[in-house]
Structure 1
Amino acid sequence: MVEGNPDRELIDRAEDLILKLRDVKSCRISTDEFGNITEVHVVASSDRSPKMIARDVEAILNAELGLAVDYRKIGVVLLEYTESESHESAGESGTGKTSAARELLGVDEEDIMSEERAFEEKAEFASREGQLELLEQDMRIRFSGLKIDVEEDRVEVEVRLGRSGFDVVGSSADLRHSGAMYDVVAAATLHAVTELLDEKFQLCLSRIKEVSMDERDVVVAVVDLVEGRKAKSFVGSAFIGRDANEAAVLAVLDAINRPSGRWSMRKGIHYTIR
């Protein structure tokens, strides 16, 4: 049993471990200011109940890492389930890197292990310098602002993001329609992300929707990375708090923040004012 509060490295190991579970697509663990685990957010595609998946998460964290997490702190969002996913999961469960993790990242086992090794090397260096927390904060793309202008028949959105000292603005516009504006907000978020990147691939919104889980509302986003004829999909989620549109931004960032550590970033941001 882990004594005291788990550190960030242990939390990262826990997230990677949960991703190996059957049917799990995405995972994020939240902690309070003292490092205590407050919530475990899991996105899965399964015909099993959320409670069963939460029990699996609770069991594997306890058995593998000695982390005692009450299953009631584990929130599970179920995406649309298909029979083909059942056959894939049944054929590959228990292989170390599960089919769910491979589907989420869109890479083979060697690519996943290479990513983990790269992250562990960076974490080990930062830990020696006493800067692990600062390194993680510097690598993540951070949300800093959202502006929405609604006209009679049109809506325009601006999203501000930052990373490693650079701040960028992404924008998107669409015809005004009834209901949530998650798709426009997500498009503006991805536009801002591409302003930070020095890559040839494209990031495209595949789907974003609001779902309910244990009487709480959650925004779930699926982002596709398209490069030539190849595509990878990433899933992210965020609980809706004071602002549903902010949750849409955070869901998109949750989807791409972990893989973004491997992407090349621009050394400077230049804008042309017209």
Structure 2
Amino acid sequence: MDFMSFEDVIAKIQGVTHSKVVYNEDEVEEVHIIANTTRSPKQIVRDIESALLAIFNYRINRKLISIAQIDTGETKSIKRIRYEGISLEVKDNNVRCEIRLNMDDDEYTSTQTAIGTSINRLKVVAKATVSAVEEIIGQVSVFDVEDIVVNSPRNISYVTVIVNMINDIAEEVLIGTAIVRNDVNEAIAKATLDAINRRIEK
């Protein structure tokens, strides 16, 4: 296991400014985090757990993660984008997804099409969602869907979506989750929004 790569991923998580992973040949022994005050330690720990599991298939004991927060003067300012609906169509070898989002009572729609592989049927939903968000914020090529993981522990299914965000100075990893209630595609859209809504600034 390439434990050195853990630091690269953790450093991209929102709120993390510095990270140090202490490990032996077989497992992680300690994870030390310096974070700002824009997010709670619980949120950061959850994102670290999700990122390491989704990217490296490594389940870390949260008790090994210690976080020191430093007030950098940053404030948490988030505007919420709401999920409105989804339509998914599979035709021939293609899958087409239309996502409807709402912000300030204005509806935004985005459509994405992809070859109908099993992973594309999941990713096309997240890609349509980030495309609609980019329309809302008036910027393009900001978000990239890294991965989508569907988990079903203890008979409860939930989706984890990992989104890369590119800004002027750095790349960040955004992670969102949503419980699958009736439709996994709806959960993917909501998990994508869960990741992005934490980061969008007014």
TM-score over 0.5 for the pair: yes
Q: Indicate conservation of the 8 Å contact 2:86/2:186, yes or no.
A: yes
Q: Indicate conservation of the 8 Å contact 1:224/1:234, yes or no.
A: yes
1:222 maps to which residue? 162
2:121 maps to which residue? 181
1:95 maps to which residue? 68
1:115 maps to which residue? 75
1:245 maps to which residue? 185
Between 1 and 2, higher relative CO (CA 8 Å, sep ≥ 6) is seen in 2
2:25 maps to which residue? none
Structure 1 length-normalised TM? 0.52
2:40 maps to which residue? 16
How many angstroms apart in 2 are the aligned matches of 1:189 and 1:45?
20
Instruction: For residue 18 of structure 1, report the CA deviation from its aligned partner.
Output: 1.7
How many angstroms apart in 2 are the aligned matches of 1:215 and 1:182?
20
2:26 maps to which residue? none
Q: Indicate conservation of the 8 Å contact 2:96/2:113, yes or no.
A: yes
How many angstroms apart in 2 are the aligned matches of 1:229 and 1:189?
24
2:47 maps to which residue? 25
Q: Indicate conservation of the 8 Å contact 2:146/2:163, yes or no.
A: yes
- With over 3 angstroms needed to count, the CA separation of the structure-2 counterparts of 1:243 and 1:167, relative to structure 1, is same
After the TM superposition, which segments of 4 or more aligned residues of structure 1 sit over 3 Å from their partners? 43-46, 78-83
How many angstroms apart in 2 are the aligned matches of 1:256 and 1:153?
30
Look at both structures and tell me which one has the larger radius of gyration over its CA atoms: 1
Instruction: For residue 184 of structure 1, report the CA deviation from its aligned partner.
Output: 0.7
Instruction: For residue 212 of structure 1, report the CA deviation from its aligned partner.
Output: 1.8
* Number of aligned positions between the proteins: 163
Q: Indicate conservation of the 8 Å contact 2:149/2:159, yes or no.
A: yes
Does residue 1:193 correspond to 2:153, yes or no?
no
Percent identity for Structure 1 against Structure 2: 23
Instruction: For residue 194 of structure 1, report the CA deviation from its aligned partner.
Output: 0.7
Unaligned runs of 5+ in 2: 1-36
Amino acid at match of 1:202: V
How many angstroms apart in 2 are the aligned matches of 1:151 and 1:17?
45
Instruction: Determine helix, strand or coil for the equivalent of 1:184.
Output: helix
How many angstroms apart in 1 are the aligned matches of 2:126 and 2:193?
9
Instruction: Determine helix, strand or coil for the equivalent of 1:186.
Output: helix
Instruction: For residue 179 of structure 1, report the CA deviation from its aligned partner.
Output: 6.7
Instruction: For residue 96 of structure 1, report the CA deviation from its aligned partner.
Output: 2.5
Q: Indicate conservation of the 8 Å contact 2:88/2:96, yes or no.
A: yes
Instruction: Determine helix, strand or coil for the equivalent of 2:68.
Output: coil
Instruction: Determine helix, strand or coil for the equivalent of 2:69.
Output: coil
Q: Quote the RMSD (CA, aligned, Å).
A: 3.2
Unaligned runs of 5+ in 1: 1-12, 27-42, 47-77, 98-108, 120-135, 264-274
Instruction: For residue 182 of structure 1, report the CA deviation from its aligned partner.
Output: 1.2
Q: Indicate conservation of the 8 Å contact 1:201/1:227, yes or no.
A: no
How many angstroms apart in 1 are the aligned matches of 2:153 and 2:51?
14
Does residue 1:234 correspond to 2:188, yes or no?
no
Which has the higher mean CA deviation after the structures are superposed, 169-178 or 230-239?
A: 169-178
- With over 3 angstroms needed to count, the CA separation of the structure-2 counterparts of 1:216 and 1:172, relative to structure 1, is same
1:152-176 deviations in Å (ceiling 9; x for gaps): 1111110000111221101110112
Instruction: Determine helix, strand or coil for the equivalent of 2:86.
Output: strand
